[in-house]
Structure 1
Amino acid sequence: MSSRKGAKMGDILANEADLLGMVKEYLKFEEFEETVQSFDKECKSKGKLVSKPQGSTLRDSKRDLLSSFDDGDHKVFFDLWAENIPSEVKHTDAEAQSLEFYLHIHFAIYPLRRHPGRHDRAEFEDRISDFKQYLETRGAALSQTTEFLPYYALPFVPNPTIHPSFKDLFQAMQQLQLQLVESDRRITSYARKFNKMQADYHNLIGITAELVDSLEATVSGKMISPEYLQSVCVRLFSSQMRQSVAQSTDFTRPGTASSMLRASIAPHRSKEVPMLPSLDYEKLKKDLIEGSDRLASLLLQALRWRLTRSLPGEQRDTVLQAYISNDLLERYSSKQKPVLYLMRSKNEIVRQYMARLINAFASLAEGRVYLSQIPTLLKLLTEALRREDKDSLTRENVLVALQKLSLRRSQQTAMIADDLIGWLVDELQDSDCLTDYTLEYSAALLMNLCLRTKGKWKCAENAKHVLKVLTDLLGHENHEVRPYVNGALYSILSVPSVRQEAKEMSVEEILRCYSKEQNPDLNRQIEFIIKQLNSEEGPESDDEEEEDDNDEDLMEADLDKEEILQPQPRELSGESLLTTEYLGIMTNMAKVKQKTTPLPQPSMDEPLQRPVTPSSHRTITTLERPLSRQKSEERSLPPSRYNSRPPTRSGSRASTADSMHHSIGRKIDVSTGTIFSHIFVIVQHSNVPSLPSHTDSECGRLSQESELDGPYEELVTKRHFQKEHNGHSAR
C-alpha cells in the first residue's frame, strides 16, 4: 500500500514540476524578466522542482553528449546515452548497436589519440579493460559480424597505434576529412536558407514595384481601390515580410521608380570573363573508359565542376559547347562501350558521378538538345532508375535529369512508351518513403508526361489507381507538389473515361474539401479542375504541336552538394587535374547563344498546362506572381496560411524529425565527424512522439468512401533525411 502511495506522490510531484515549468516558460515568452527571477528564487527557497522545456532538455542532452564525446569522458557519455536512448532502440536496432560498438572503440583508444607522443598507459589499460568487458557482454552479439570481427583483437594488441589493422583509427587526416564532409552538409543547409531568403527578397521587390506603380497612378488622377491595397498588404504580410524598402521616386516621370526597382533584381553581366583552358578530349574519353574507377570518378567530377562552377554566360556557354563539339559523351561513337556506358559500371561512385554529369548537362538548354540526340540515353537512365536503391544519390540524379529532359517532346514520347508513367504512379503511391526533393521532381515529371495526349490515354488504362494517388498527394504536407498534382489532374480529366471514373470515386467532393483552405491560388486551380471534371469535351490532340522545350537554363545553386569523392593528399582533382594532365589545343569553340522568344507563362489561377521543372516553376511563381496580381479583377484576398491542410487517407505525414532516424542506416565510421551526425540523429529520434496513423477528418472520410482501395500507409521512421532536401540537386 505504501508503495502505491509513494508512486502516486511521485506522479504528483512530477506534474507539479511540469506545471511550474510551463509557468516559467510562459513568463519567459512574455518577457517578464524580473518576474522570472522572483519566480526562480521563490521556487528554490520552497524546494520546488521546475522542469525544463522539452526542447531545452533535448538541446542540453545533445550538447552534453557531444561535449563528453570530445572530452573522452565515457562515464558521463554512456550515462546520458542510457538516459536518452530508448531501451528498445538500443536492444533491437542494428544501426544503434553498431554505433554503440564504435563509440566504445572511440573511448577505449581516446588516451592514445589525445596524446600521440606520450601515451597515458595506465588510463589506456583501464579503458581497454572496460572495452574488453563490453565485448564479453553487450558486444558479444556482434562477434559474428565481419565488419566488427577485427576489433575483438584490440584488447590484446600491445600498441594499436602501429598495428596495420588499427593504425587508420589514429590518422588525424581521416577525422578531419569526415568533419569537413559534415561541414559541407551544414553549408548545403545554409545555402538553402540563403536561397529562400533571396526569393523572399525578390518577392518583396516585386510587391514594392506594384505599390510604386499604384502611387504613380494616383498622381495622374486614377483611383486605387481599398480592396486592391488590402490584397497587396495580405500578400506582403502572409510571406512574413516586415521590411520596408525606400527608393527615391521622380513622380514627373511615370514608371521610373518601378523600373528602377525591377532592374535592381535583374542579373548583372560580368565584364571581361576569362575563358577556361582547352582540353584534350580524346585523351579524356580514353581515360574515362580505360582508366581506373577512381580516375574515372575524379574526371567525371572535374568535368561537372567545369560546368557548374563556370560563370553564367559566355564562359559557361563555351564550356558546354566544347563538350558538345568534342562529343564528350560519344553520341556518334561506334564503340561497344562509349563513355555513357559508365552508367552501367560496377562501381557505385562511377555510376553516381556519371549521373551527376548527365544531370548537369540536362540543366542547360543546349545540353538537353545534345542529350536528346543520344539514342541509348533514355534506356540507360530508366534502367538505372529501376535498378538503383531508393535512397541512392545515383537514382536521385537520374530522376532529376529525366525530369529536365521531359521538357522536350521527343523525350516525353519515349518515356511514355517505356511506361514511365506507371512507374512514377507506383512510386508516388508511397510518398512518405520519398524525400521532399524526390517527391517534387517525381510529381513534376508525371505532370509533364500527363500533358501529352499519349500520356493521358496511358493514365486512362488504370484511371482509378492514378486518381487515388493524385488525390492523396493533394493533402501532402509538402505544398510544393500541389501545382504539379493539379496540372496532372486537370490534364487527365480531359479524357471521358477518366472523368467517369472520377465521378464514381467522388473526386469532386474530395477536391471541394481541399478548396476550403485559405489558399486563393489553390482554390482557383481546384475550380478549374472541377470545371474540367464536369465538362463534356474530349482531349485535344497535340500531335501537330512543335517542340516545346523552352530556352531556359535550369542550373540550380546546389548542384555540387554532398560530394562523397574527396582527393587524397597530393592527388589532383577538379580543374587542376584537367589542366595538368589533359591540356589541349583550340578545343574551345565559342558560340553565340541564340535567344528565342520565351514561352507564355501560365497564370497563377490555372493549373499548369505546359511542361516545367520545379526550379523554373519556383522562379516564375516568385518573380511573376506580384505582377500578375496587379491586373487581376479580384483585388481582395484572404491571407494564405499554407500550414493548414486537411489530413489525407494515410493521416498525418511523418515529420522530418521522424525521418531522421533512417540516416543511421548509412555506413558508420569510428571517426569523430561521422559519429557526431549519428548521435544527433538517434537522440533527436528518441525524443519525437509518434504520430497518429489516420484521422477521421472530412477529407479522410471522403477518400475512404470513394473506394480508393489499398491499405493505410504506415508512417515511415527509417528514411534518408535530406536534402530538404528536401533537398535540389544534380549534386
Structure 2
Amino acid sequence: MLCDINRFAKAIACIPAVFARSPLVSLLQYLSFAGYDSVVTTFNEERKCKAVINLIDCFDNGDQDAFFKVWTEHIPVGIVERDVNALSLEFYLHIHFTIVPLRWKAVKKNDADFSERISSLKKYFKTRGAALSQTAEFLPYYALPYVSDPTVHPLFKALFEESWLAQLKEKLERFLTLVIKPNTPRLLTLYVSFYCGFVKQNIQKLQLKLHEAEKRTNYYADKFKNLQTEHCKLIMITAELVKSLEATVAGKMVSPDYLQSLYDELRNSQQNLSMEVPMLPSLNYGKLKADIVGSDERRACLLLQALCWRLTHSLPGDQRESVLQAYIRNDLLEGFSDKSKTVVGLLDSSDEMVLEYMVRLINAFASFAAGRGYLAQIPSLLKLLMDILKKEKNSSIREKTLMAIQKLSLRRSQQTPMIEDDLISWLVNELQDSDCLSDNTLEYSTALLLNLSLRTKGRRKCAEDAKHVLKVLIDLLGHENHQIRSFVNGTLYSIFCVPSVREEAKEMSFEAILQCYTKEGNPNFSRQIGFIIKLLNSDKEEDPESDDEEGDDNNVCMEHSEDEILQPQSGELTGETLLTTDYLGVRAKTCLCKPGDQRDQTSLLSTKGNQLEEGKFSLNRQLPL
C-alpha cells in the first residue's frame, strides 16, 4: 500500500505546477486528515530528486559555489535566458547568497567572505544580470554593492526578514519541481488529455462569443451606412434651405408647400434613425422578484444571470438605457422594500453560486451613473459588500465585489463610510502581497485606493501608518502594468499633500528610489514621477476638506469577458429566452403597436418623479501632465 502511494506521489510531482498544484495540495490535505503522517513525509521526500535536494541544502547552508555548480549542470541555459521568471529567480538567488554573511553576522562574522561575495555579485551584474538592469523591479538592487550597511538601509532591510527568505525558498522549490523531472508518467498523460478536453470546451465558448461580436459588428456597420445616407439627405435639405433663404432675401416668394415638403423629409429621417434600435419587451418585475427570492438556488441563479445578461448584452445607447431605467423604476433589488426577504438580502446567502450572480448584477449596475445612484440609496448595500470583500474566500466573488466597490467609490457619499470602515488599511495589507493577486484585482485595488486617498479623510488615514503605506506603494511602482503604476502615482501625489507623510518619505530616502524610475523610457510616467518628487520637496500645507463635488454622470467600463460558472441543463431555459417565456409583462403581451411605435414600455413611461437624486464624486482626478 505504502509503495503504491509513493509511486503515485512521484507521478504527481512530475506534473507542472500550473496543473498539479491544486490536486497535489488536496492529496496532502486528505492524507494529513486521515492520519497518514509517515506517508506525507515519504511523499514530500521522494517527489524530490537528488539534484533538487542538493540545491535546497546548498541554499539553506549559504554555499554559493556548490549551489551554482549544481544549478549550471541541471538547469538548461536556454530556460533561464528565455524565461523571465527563471531569470528573476536567478537574480534574487545571487542577492541571497551575497547577503548570507550579514544574515549570519550574529553567529560568525566573516568580512572577507562578504567582500568576496560582493565581488561575485558585481561580476554577475556586469554579465548575465545586465539583462535586468533596465527593469524597474530590479534597478534598485544594483546599488547594493555600494551600500555600507544594507541591514539598516530602508530599501534593503526587508531582505533580512525571515518572510523574504521563506518566499524565495518556496519559489525555488516550485521552479526546481517544474524544471528537474524524470520521464513523463502515465498519470500526467491522462491528466493532460483531460485538460485538453477542458480547453476544447473553452474554445467553443470563445467561438460563441466571437459569433456574438460579429453580429454586433454587422449591426454597427449597417447603422453606419444608414447614418451616412441620412447625412447626405441632411446636406441636400440644408442646401435647399439656403437657396430658399437667398430667394427670400432677393424678394422672391417661397411656397409653403415647398417648406412643408422639406419638413416632412427631416421628420422621416428622424423617424428612420429612431427605429434602428429595437427596444426589448417589458417584463413582469413583481413575479420576477418573487421567484428570485422564493425559488430554489438554481432557479434564482438562472434569473439573476438572465437579468445581468439583459443589461450587459443589450446594445449601447437607448436599448441599454431603457433596460437600466426599467430595473431602477421597478426597484429590482428591493432596496426600499419592507419585506423580510428581499433580492438585495441574497448578498447574505450561504450559497456561493447565488452570491456570485448577485455580485455580478450589482457590478453591472455600478457601471452606470444612474445605477450607482440607485445602489447608493440602498442603506445596507455597501456594508454587505464590504463584509463580502473582507471575509469571502472565493477569489471570483471577491474580485467582482471589489469591482463594484471601486465603481461605487466614485460617489462621495460612498467614500465616507468606506474610509470610516478602515477599508484603506485593508487594501494596503492586501496589496503588500501583490504577487498573489491577479492583474485585474491589482488594478481595481489601486484604483480604489486612489479614489479614497483623494479625500482629506483618506489622506489622513494613510498618514496614520505612512511608512507601511509608502513601502507598499513603492513596491507597486515597478509593476509592468502601466495602469496600475498610474494609479500608484496618483495615490502618492495625493498623500504627499500631508506634511507628515512627506517627512516619513524623506526618512526612507524616497526621492532616491523615485529617481531610479525617471530613467525609464516612458515619458509620461517619468513626468509623473517628476511632479511627485517636486511635491515631496515642497512646503505645501494640506488643503482643507472641500464640500464641492463634481457630478457622477459618467459610465465606466463594464466587463463582458466573464466565464460563466452556471451552464444550462438539458431543456433548461436561460437568458432572454427565460425572461420572455415566463416573465413577459402584461403590456408586452396585450399591446400591438404600429410599426413606427415598437418601443419598450420602459421608454414610453415618463421618468418624471421617479428619477433618483444623483450624488457627486471626484472622477478622473489625474496628476498634472
Sort the TM-score into its range (normalised by shorter chain).
Answer: 0.5 to 0.7
Which digits, 9 at most, give the CA deviation of each residue in 1:636-679, with x for residues without a partner? xxxxxxxxxxxxxxxxxxxxxxxxxxxxxxxxxxxxxxxxxxxx
Instruction: Report if the CA contact (8 A) 2:490-2:623 is conserved.
Output: no
Instruction: Report if the CA contact (8 A) 1:185-1:562 is conserved.
Output: no
Instruction: Report if the CA contact (8 A) 1:384-1:395 is conserved.
Output: yes
CA separation of 1:87/1:98 partners in 2, compared to 1, >3 Å: closer, same or farther?
farther
Match of 2:337 among 323, 333, 340: 333
SS for the counterpart of 2:490 is helix
Q: Decide which moves more: 454-463 or 583-592.
A: 583-592
**Counterpart code for 2:205:** D
Question: Separation in 1 of the partners of 2:425 and 2:345?
Answer: 26
Q: Decide which moves more: 477-486 or 365-374.
A: 477-486
**Which residue does the alignment assign to 2:602?**
589
**Counterpart code for 2:409:** S
Under a length normalisation based on structure 1, what TM-score does the superposition of the two structures give?
Answer: 0.47
Instruction: Report if the CA contact (8 A) 2:493-2:623 is conserved.
Output: no
Which residues of 2 match residues 232-251 of structure 1 at below 5 A?
Answer: none
TM-aligned CA deviation for residue 561 of structure 1: 2.0
Match of 1:349 among 350, 353, 362: 353
**Which residue does the alignment assign to 2:567?**
566
TM-aligned CA deviation for residue 434 of structure 1: 0.8
Question: Separation in 2 of the partners of 1:377 and 1:359?
Answer: 12
CA separation of 1:277/1:473 partners in 2, compared to 1, >3 Å: closer, same or farther?
same
**Which residue does the alignment assign to 2:576?**
575
Question: Separation in 1 of the partners of 2:185 and 2:365?
Answer: 42
**Counterpart code for 1:366:** A
Which residues of 2 match residues 72-471 of structure 1 at below 5 A?
Answer: 88=177, 100=188, 103=191, 179-184=200-205, 271-389=275-393, 392-471=395-474
Instruction: Report if the CA contact (8 A) 2:412-2:617 is conserved.
Output: no
Gaps of 5+ in 1: 1-13, 23-84, 108-174, 193-268, 608-731
Which digits, 9 at most, give the CA deviation of each residue in 1:544-577, with x for residues without a partner? 212x343122243x42521111111210000010
Gaps of 5+ in 2: 1-72, 82-173, 214-272, 588-599
Instruction: Report if the CA contact (8 A) 1:486-1:526 is conserved.
Output: yes
**Which residue does the alignment assign to 2:540?**
537
Instruction: Report if the CA contact (8 A) 2:490-2:622 is conserved.
Output: no
How large is the Cα RMSD of the aligned pairs?
4.0
**Counterpart code for 1:504:** E
Match of 1:494 among 497, 507, 516: 497
Question: Separation in 2 of the partners of 1:499 and 1:605?
Answer: 17
TM-aligned CA deviation for residue 457 of structure 1: 0.5
**Which residue does the alignment assign to 2:624?**
606
Match of 2:552 among 547, 550, 553: 550
Question: Separation in 2 of the partners of 1:438 and 1:97?
Answer: 36
TM-aligned CA deviation for residue 90 of structure 1: 11
CA separation of 1:271/1:322 partners in 2, compared to 1, >3 Å: closer, same or farther?
same
CA separation of 1:104/1:528 partners in 2, compared to 1, >3 Å: closer, same or farther?
closer
CA separation of 1:382/1:191 partners in 2, compared to 1, >3 Å: closer, same or farther?
farther
**Which residue does the alignment assign to 2:265?**
none
Which digits, 9 at most, give the CA deviation of each residue in 1:280-327, with x for residues without a partner? 111111111110111011000100111011111111111111111110
CA separation of 1:604/1:361 partners in 2, compared to 1, >3 Å: closer, same or farther?
closer
**Which residue does the alignment assign to 2:485?**
482
TM-aligned CA deviation for residue 344 of structure 1: 1.9
CA separation of 1:571/1:101 partners in 2, compared to 1, >3 Å: closer, same or farther?
same
SS for the counterpart of 2:443 is helix
**Which residue does the alignment assign to 1:49?**
none
Which digits, 9 at most, give the CA deviation of each residue in 1:512-543, with x for residues without a partner? 11111122111211111112112222221233
Which digits, 9 at most, give the CA deviation of each residue in 1:37-56, with x for residues without a partner? xxxxxxxxxxxxxxxxxxxx
Higher relative contact order (CA 8 A, sep 6+): 1
CA separation of 1:191/1:395 partners in 2, compared to 1, >3 Å: closer, same or farther?
farther
Which residues of 2 match residues 662-677 of structure 1 at below 5 A?
Answer: none
Instruction: Report if the CA contact (8 A) 1:360-1:555 is conserved.
Output: no
TM-aligned CA deviation for residue 272 of structure 1: 2.9
| Greater fraction of residues in helix | 2
**Counterpart code for 1:330:** E
Which digits, 9 at most, give the CA deviation of each residue in 1:89-140, with x for residues without a partner? 6999xxx999749649979xxxxxxxxxxxxxxxxxxxxxxxxxxxxxxxxx
Instruction: Give the total of aligned pairs.
Output: 380
Which residues of 2 match residues 581-730 of structure 1 at below 5 A?
Answer: 581-586=582-587, 588-590=601-603, 606=624
Question: Separation in 1 of the partners of 2:455 and 2:617?
Answer: 17
Under a length normalisation based on structure 2, what TM-score does the superposition of the two structures give?
Answer: 0.55
TM-aligned CA deviation for residue 475 of structure 1: 0.9
CA separation of 1:466/1:103 partners in 2, compared to 1, >3 Å: closer, same or farther?
closer
CA separation of 1:388/1:190 partners in 2, compared to 1, >3 Å: closer, same or farther?
farther
CA separation of 1:605/1:456 partners in 2, compared to 1, >3 Å: closer, same or farther?
closer
CA separation of 1:458/1:396 partners in 2, compared to 1, >3 Å: closer, same or farther?
same
Question: Separation in 1 of the partners of 2:618 and 2:396?
Answer: 34
Question: Separation in 1 of the partners of 2:302 and 2:471?
Answer: 44
**Which residue does the alignment assign to 2:269?**
none
